Structure 1
């Protein structure tokens, strides 16, 4: 158990990277016809909800993948998959295995988890934050930082 606990942040980082990459691939496939292209007919530019969902997938997935704005990006990613599940899949049957919504459900819950617990290791966010300068002021004989 101790080994698992020590590797927690690394496993979480790998989870974030894989989920973000897979989600970004869905967006790229829909928007640009790469990686096997969209599932079904591709949406036109600006078409609701397909084109906007693909933009969220590509940009949100890339942000989560890189660990930049991870929590903020994971929320709309999760929400878009909840929307997709309840509008496209759930009306066909109650359970995801019956209605083909396993992918939407898994992405929805995966992004909700990432939003709740953060990016884990190997995130770019710490590198993108400006460093805070520590200034020293002297008051009497003590210095404050």
Structure 2
């Protein structure tokens, strides 16, 4: 077993924690106009579609991903929200992410999809509660 195999679950956990934390910070910045948020003093109205809902998904979903609680479902919802943002908001501006400003939405969508499929890694509440059991595939005899 090499270094990459031995550290895979730890690196995946660090990836999950960092991506979830950054996503949650973005949600907090949007909802509460803190941390130099993107709204320039304008907080979305309660339940306003889609900005308030997106910010709630970012804050709550990102927090759940950081904790590793309901990780796969939270990550899938976060991924979907960023895919929605990319295709509904950014795609109509231009075809490619560099043209339409959608690089961050695309990166978050793919990052959360990776987390949803590979699971939380180490240091997750799901593991303590026994919710996330990742079965290793059986070796193929050959």
Name the residue aligned to 1:99: 100
TM-score between both structures, scaled by the size of structure 1: 0.85
Looking at structure 2, the residues matched to 58 and 128 of structure 1 have their Cα atoms a distance apart, in angstroms, of 23
Greater CA drift, 103-112 or 120-129: 120-129
Runs of 4+, deviation exceeding 2 Å: 37-42, 126-130
Which is higher, the Rg of structure 1 or of structure 2? 1
Choose between structure 1 and 2: higher strand proportion. 1
Unaligned 5+ runs, structure 1 = 131-145
Looking at structure 1, the residues matched to 43 and 103 of structure 2 have their Cα atoms a distance apart, in angstroms, of 21
Name the residue aligned to 1:18: 18
Unaligned 5+ runs, structure 2 = 132-142
Looking at structure 1, the residues matched to 89 and 125 of structure 2 have their Cα atoms a distance apart, in angstroms, of 34
Looking at structure 2, the residues matched to 27 and 62 of structure 1 have their Cα atoms a distance apart, in angstroms, of 10
Number of aligned residue pairs: give it.
Answer: 130
TM-score between both structures, scaled by the size of structure 2: 0.87
1:81-137 per-residue CA deviation (whole Å, 9 max, x = no partner) reads 00000111111111101110000000000000100110001111222459xxxxxxx
Is 2:124 aligned against 1:126?
no
